[in-house]
Structure 1
Amino acid sequence: MAVVLAEQGHNDLVGQPHEQAAEGPVAEAEAVAAEISTEQQPMGTPGRRFNRKSPFFIGMTAAAGVAVTYGVISLLSLAANVLILIGLALFLAIGLEPAVSFLVVHRWPRPLGVTAMLLLIIGVIGGFTAAAIPALITQGQQLIDNAPHYLQRAQDHSSFIGKLNDRLHLTQKLQSLISSPGSIDFNGVLSAGAAVFSAITDTAIVLILTAYFLADMPRIRALIYRMVPHTRRPRVILMGDDILAKVGTYVLGNLLISLIAGGLTFGWLMIFSIPYAALLSIMVALFDLVPVVGSSIAGIIVVAAALTISLPLCLATIAFFVIYRAAEDYFLVPRIIGRAMKVPALVTIVAVLIGGALLGIIGALVAIPAAAALLLITREILIPRLDEA
């Protein structure tokens, strides 16, 4: 195709029949195009830049800027759900990149390393699902069967649960919810089915996008750095790679800590025969993925389950979660995630609260790496410039 352009300046696959007499000035431009097209630069060399100081250029730039900004905001609002899935997939790919790079350094071909990581993720999700669903169904049915017994205990005014029920009127609210007309209807069943289908579809999309991002991560990294001016590129590479390493350390470490939290909770519940051990331990593992507040919220629910057995066991369960939370904050996190993040505790709490308010659970998950990136940029770019000003 480049030969065609070099010979006559007109592509044989466009604008046929080619009649130079009818083209007028365009024919002259085609002749010049044939001269400037070479094998090294088939599209010719770039021309001189526009005069950015001209009034026309300034006015058009301002108007185009306003229009583009409005259009981008409108498009982002329409595609918010899809963009969240894409961002989550990119976040997971960056988090898994250290593991894939480790395999590549040890002479694994990158496609094989990416495939191994994806098979590991699918295996973990499949095994987790296979082990969790039967337990969830069994223990969920037990919870439904034992609900009248719990309601009866709640009506015992001399017990702790009965006193709590007298103050908060829990049984009345529950009974009104169950007995209200239309509380469980066909539309509700359809909505629940649609929510489950949407969750499965979103999970599949995230996994597929994660695979593509992982496979093309070297090219994505190079493309992003190519968009930085040449004089600033080396420093941006150092900072960007440091941020990517921080995200990878955080994601892998957070997953491991959540598995530890779920396993220890399951062991505690099984030892003291607290009901719904599998259900509660899975919930603790999932909630523990959310920094700062996740394990505390899950602990409150587990403590409520222990309270159905006895008050001493409830107090012991509270002590267990307090001790575990201290061990997670002062032992597990420093050793597994280490000091790579370098985010102060106050910044961590504020970042998680803001991220959760903006994007829910996903925002809380990515809040700490985002805060670490902002702190790095502030320390390396903003503060030195302020000191020199």
Structure 2
Amino acid sequence: MDSNVPAADDGHNSGIGQPHSRREGEPITNAEAAAAQASTPAHPLGRPGRLFDRRSPFLVGLTGAAGVAVTYALIQAILAAGQALTLIVVAFFLAVGLEPAVSWLVRRRLPRWAAVTVVLLLAVGLFAGFLAVVVPPLVSQGTAFAHKAPEYLHHLGQRYPIINTVDSRFHLQDQVRHSLGAESPRLAGGVLDIGRAIFGAVTATAIAFVLTAYFMSDFRRVRSTIYRLFPRERRPRAILIGDEIFAKVGAYILGNLVISLITGVLTLIWLLIFGVPYALVLAVLVAVLDLIPIVGSTAAGVIVAGVSLTVSVPVMISTLAFFIALRLVEDYLLVPRIIGRAVRVPALVTVISVLLGGALLGVVGALLAIPVAAALLLVVRETVFPSLDQTHTE
């Protein structure tokens, strides 16, 4: 007799609790006899019994307590894995941003694995070339700028009395000298901190790159899995809206990188023409800050204009005018042509989303705020508003 099948005579499994005897007690032997009668070829383990009463106070309380416990455990897990989740989100958005390029190559009859490889190699090559060209002068100019900052303040104070007044009131030069002339132990600690920060940044970049490669190579399966989570009757509309969201997010991320690159190059040319010091550092700063909508470009313009004041007041005024014109060109020429008008988000929503994203995830949250806001606006416009309008008319 199979040990996995209960004995036909008394319902006691022959492979469990041997030797079997009546000493196990009458309640158990009676239950085993009933089990033998309940076991049939169609239902070897018996028919399922009646469900518990879901309305019973015990089950209601148990369900509520379990829900609270699961929610608390989930929140704690998210907080504990915050950095890893941030890298996953960044990698997913990068994969979505590079997906238009991959799909473009696939439409040209290139296998997807080859298209992903080409896009990744191109992205890595551009990034490595950017670092090789920019980092050495960026480090040298940044170090020189930091050490000469007190001299620039003193020079500006001599040329412009209002700056001298502000310096005498707030002791800006003394504060800069004190921060740069820190004690050697603090300096050594700062060097170690910088080393740890660089190592952490390199590690995070490598992890994000690997995750991005996995997301890109398996994007079709990820997309299908996301749509499988929707009920069957809602799945077609979810596919239409989801693909539109993916297209908008991809266009925004890829287009925003291109626009920031153009902005940085134009800024570098302008600063070199007018002889503004540390042009490369300022141009890279403008390109990075321009990734953050509204707030980033404004802050970059103020910083560059302040540095251009070391040349002359007319150059500073011209630089401010240049950044205003650059902002207009970016908003009304570059963004519509490169990203498209469909991705644009109202200014109020942009500011709010950037503030909330920065408060939640820092710089990463500010960078991802606009595509997330565009996706949410599309979902609200296509699902929430029609439902509310239909309910209101009825």
TM-score exceeds 0.5: yes
Residue 244 of structure 2 corresponds to which residue in structure 1? 242
Q: Which residue, 21, 30, 53 being the options, matches 2:14?
A: 21
Moved more, 179-188 or 119-128: 179-188
1:87 deviation in Å? 0.5
Residue 44 of structure 1 corresponds to which residue in structure 2? none
Question: Does structure 1 retain, via aligned residues, the 8 Å contact 2:263–2:286?
Answer: yes
Q: 1: distance between equivalents of 2:146 and 2:358?
A: 32
Shift in alpha-carbon separation, 1:158–1:344, aligned structure 2, 3 A: closer
Shift in alpha-carbon separation, 1:235–1:51, aligned structure 2, 3 A: farther
- Report the structure number with the largest CA radius of gyration: 2
Post-superposition Cα deviations, 1:244-273, rounded to whole Å, max 9, x if no partner, equal: 111001001101100010000010011111
Q: Which residue, 196, 199, 208 being the options, matches 1:197?
A: 199
Which amino acid in structure 2 is aligned with residue 212 of structure 1? Y
Residue 350 of structure 2 corresponds to which residue in structure 1? 348
Residue 209 of structure 1 corresponds to which residue in structure 2? 211
Residue 326 of structure 1 corresponds to which residue in structure 2? 328
Structure 1: runs of 5 or more not aligned: 1-7, 11-19, 37-46
1:382 deviation in Å? 1.6
Residue 265 of structure 2 corresponds to which residue in structure 1? 263
Which amino acid in structure 2 is aligned with residue 372 of structure 1? A
Question: Does structure 1 retain, via aligned residues, the 8 Å contact 2:149–2:176?
Answer: no
Residue 23 of structure 2 corresponds to which residue in structure 1? none
Question: Does structure 2 retain, via aligned residues, the 8 Å contact 1:52–1:58?
Answer: no
Q: 2: distance between equivalents of 1:355 and 1:102?
A: 31
Question: Does structure 2 retain, via aligned residues, the 8 Å contact 1:153–1:161?
Answer: no
TM score, norm. by length of structure 2: 0.84
Which amino acid in structure 1 is aligned with residue 378 of structure 2? L
Residue 26 of structure 2 corresponds to which residue in structure 1? none
Q: 2: distance between equivalents of 1:137 and 1:287?
A: 18
Post-superposition Cα deviations, 1:17-72, rounded to whole Å, max 9, x if no partner, equal: xxx622378xx99xx99989xxxxxxxxxx89966845365444322211110100
Residue 84 of structure 2 corresponds to which residue in structure 1? 82
Q: 2: distance between equivalents of 1:315 and 1:258?
A: 23
Which amino acid in structure 1 is aligned with residue 173 of structure 2? T
> What is the SS of the residue equivalent to 2:283?
helix
Q: 1: distance between equivalents of 2:79 and 2:99?
A: 30
Question: Does structure 1 retain, via aligned residues, the 8 Å contact 2:154–2:173?
Answer: no
1:227 deviation in Å? 1.3
Question: Does structure 2 retain, via aligned residues, the 8 Å contact 1:157–1:166?
Answer: no
Aligned pairs for 1:97-136 (under 5 A) are 97-136=99-138
Post-superposition Cα deviations, 1:263-296, rounded to whole Å, max 9, x if no partner, equal: 0001001111111111111111111111111111
Question: Does structure 1 retain, via aligned residues, the 8 Å contact 2:257–2:291?
Answer: yes
Which amino acid in structure 1 is aligned with residue 266 of structure 2? L
1:293 and 2:326 are equivalent in the alignment:
no
Which amino acid in structure 2 is aligned with residue 92 of structure 1? L
Shift in alpha-carbon separation, 1:197–1:21, aligned structure 2, 3 A: same
> What is the SS of the residue equivalent to 1:23?
coil
Shift in alpha-carbon separation, 1:108–1:50, aligned structure 2, 3 A: farther
1:127 deviation in Å? 0.5
Q: 2: distance between equivalents of 1:52 and 1:324?
A: 68
> What is the SS of the residue equivalent to 2:133?
helix
Q: Which residue, 285, 304, 315 being the options, matches 1:283?
A: 285
1:160 deviation in Å? 5.5
Question: Does structure 1 retain, via aligned residues, the 8 Å contact 2:357–2:368?
Answer: yes
Which amino acid in structure 1 is aligned with residue 369 of structure 2? A
> What is the SS of the residue equivalent to 1:156?
helix
Question: Does structure 1 retain, via aligned residues, the 8 Å contact 2:309–2:316?
Answer: yes
Q: 1: distance between equivalents of 2:253 and 2:354?
A: 15
Q: 1: distance between equivalents of 2:76 and 2:213?
A: 29
Residue 364 of structure 2 corresponds to which residue in structure 1? 362
Shift in alpha-carbon separation, 1:52–1:277, aligned structure 2, 3 A: farther
Moved more, 54-63 or 253-262: 54-63
1:140 deviation in Å? 2.9
1:156 deviation in Å? 2.2
Residue 43 of structure 1 corresponds to which residue in structure 2? none
Shift in alpha-carbon separation, 1:385–1:130, aligned structure 2, 3 A: same
1:302 deviation in Å? 1.1
1:143 deviation in Å? 2.5
Give RMSD over aligned pairs. Answer: 2.8
1:180 deviation in Å? 5.0
Q: 2: distance between equivalents of 1:384 and 1:143?
A: 56
Q: 1: distance between equivalents of 2:305 and 2:41?
A: 79
Question: Does structure 2 retain, via aligned residues, the 8 Å contact 1:157–1:163?
Answer: no
Shift in alpha-carbon separation, 1:112–1:192, aligned structure 2, 3 A: same
TM score, norm. by length of structure 1: 0.85
Number of aligned residues: 361
Q: 2: distance between equivalents of 1:263 and 1:118?
A: 23
Shift in alpha-carbon separation, 1:299–1:221, aligned structure 2, 3 A: same
Shift in alpha-carbon separation, 1:93–1:338, aligned structure 2, 3 A: same
Q: What percentage of aligned pairs have identical amino acids? A: 49
